[in-house]
Each structure stands twice: as structure tokens, then as C-alpha cells.
Amino acid sequence: MTGSAATARVPQLVVHRDAPLMAQAAAARLITRVVDAQAARGAASVVLTGGRNGTALLAALAGSPARDAVDWSRLDLWWGDERFLPAGDPGRNDTQARAALLDRVGPDPARVHPMPAPGGGPWGDDADAAAGAYAAELAAACASEEHGPVPTFDVLLLGVGPDAHVASLFPEHPGVRERQRTVVGVHGSPKPPPTRISLTLPAVRAAREVWLLAAGADKAKAVALALSGAGELQAPAAGAYGRRRTLWLLDRPAATHLPPQLYPPATA
């Protein structure tokens, strides 16, 4: 591993006063990052997450006057995981993202890549086959200069669950052990619904920047566990890092169990 790759794995922490401020600040940060990527490379790519914090970020972005700085027609949107529910189901992560943001900013539909829904293609109701179809879509989107099998996403967002899960990779579940495939079907998820689709940790680690979001006292133990040296089987969030940067965006309640040496001294 190169020195810069090792540095990128070291988590950077930002602790905000509360969850609403965290969502606003993360939205502002994401706008800047996307605008910079579009200026540098012509287009940007972001992987969205479901969950409370990810959806709050998207709602804050939709309400930001700076949202029009983004060229929404030059943004590729992917998902880190999905609940394997019918298209349009309110429990799906993409349905929630559309309601919070996408329906208000009009991205290029050809650049919006929702994960498959049951009955929506040749995979039928088979979540494993649907995961394979999404892996193929990701591979097809890799630019020639990339090594694949997934694009080098500019920013990959992950909500951290109270059990330290990220995407739909749950502690000690088969998905978190996957090293070959980029997308897996998840069966028997401890959090409903039981059937899901998820990027794997190797796919997550292809991103330039991985941002982990955790707000609320119910996340405090998970945050402390993941940032205190736990293994990724026990705390999948510990295995989520980017090629260039790994950023943890927290609110104060979520940071309360952090060891003092990790808690940044000057936070707002």
C-alpha cells in the first residue's frame, strides 16, 4: 500500500452540533465536491445512501440556494444499497431520494442508476440475479482508463446503522465477507426488509472519497466501535474507506462514546 493510500484510510472526523446542522453542512460540502469534480473532469459521480441521515442530507441539498451550482445533467447517481421492494415502494431508498431531491432538480434520467426492483427485469424476484445485473451496469460504466470493475466514484455516501452496518452489509453477515463480487443479494437482513441488494466493501473502496454519516445517540456505540479498531466483520463501517479520503460526519450525540484522543478539539 502506498503512503497516500494508507493516509486516505485514516478517518477524518467532523462533529457538528446537531443532526439538522450536520445535514446542512454535509449538503454544502457535497455541492462543493461535485462542482469541483465537474470542473476538473466534466462530470461527477455520487453514490447515494438510504437511511435517516442520508435522506436528511438530500433534503438539505434540495433546500440549498447553492444547489443550482451543480450541473445536474452531468452527474451520475448510483446507490450503495437498496431494499428489494417493488419500484416506487415508499420503503425503497431510491423512492426516498427522488422525493427528497431528485424530483426537484431534474437529473439526466440516463445518469440515474437505481438498483433493480423485483419483477423489473430478467432477474424476476431473484435478488442475487438482480445484484449481478447491477454489477454489470457498474462495470459497463467504467471508463477505459479505469481498472474497474466499478467506476471511481467521486463521493460515496454511507449511513451508519446502530449496529455499525453500512449499505446493507451487516455485522457477521455473508455480504461483509465478500471479496470478489461488487454487488450482492442480501438475505435475512436483521433490519427489515429481509431481502436487499448491496455494494460490497471492495466496491465501496473504489470511491475517491467515502463519507460516513451518523447522527443521534443511538449511533454512539457503533461510531465508537468502528473508530476504535474493531474489525470490519464486527463493525462493517470500519471497513469503509476511500482511495483519497475517508470522512466521518457526526453530530455531538453520535460522538459521545468516542475515545478522547479521537474527538476533534475544535468542532461546531
Q: Could you say whether residue 81 binds ligand LXAUTJHC (CB under 6 A)?
A: yes
Distance separating alpha carbons of residues 52 and 156, to the nearest angstrom: 16
Mask for 136-175, x = binds ligand LXAUTJHC (CB under 6 A) = ----------------------xx-x-----xx-------
For 180, the grid coordinates are 470478489
Q: Could you say whether residue 95 binds ligand LXAUTJHC (CB under 6 A)?
A: no
Closest CA relative to residue 207, chosen from 142, 166, 249, 150: 150
* Chain mean position to CA 130: 19
Q: Could you say whether residue 236 binds ligand LXAUTJHC (CB under 6 A)?
A: no
Nearer Cβ to ligand LXAUTJHC (71/89) = 89
Distance separating alpha carbons of residues 152 and 64, to the nearest angstrom: 27
Nearer Cβ to ligand LXAUTJHC (161/242) = 161
Measured from each CB, the residue nearest to ligand LXAUTJHC is 51
Distance separating alpha carbons of residues 24 and 63, to the nearest angstrom: 9
Nearer Cβ to ligand LXAUTJHC (13/56) = 56
- β-pair partners for 247: 12, 211
Distance separating alpha carbons of residues 164 and 236, to the nearest angstrom: 6
Q: What residue ranges bind ligand LXAUTJHC (CB under 6 A)?
A: 49-54, 81, 83, 93, 158-159, 161, 167-168, 191
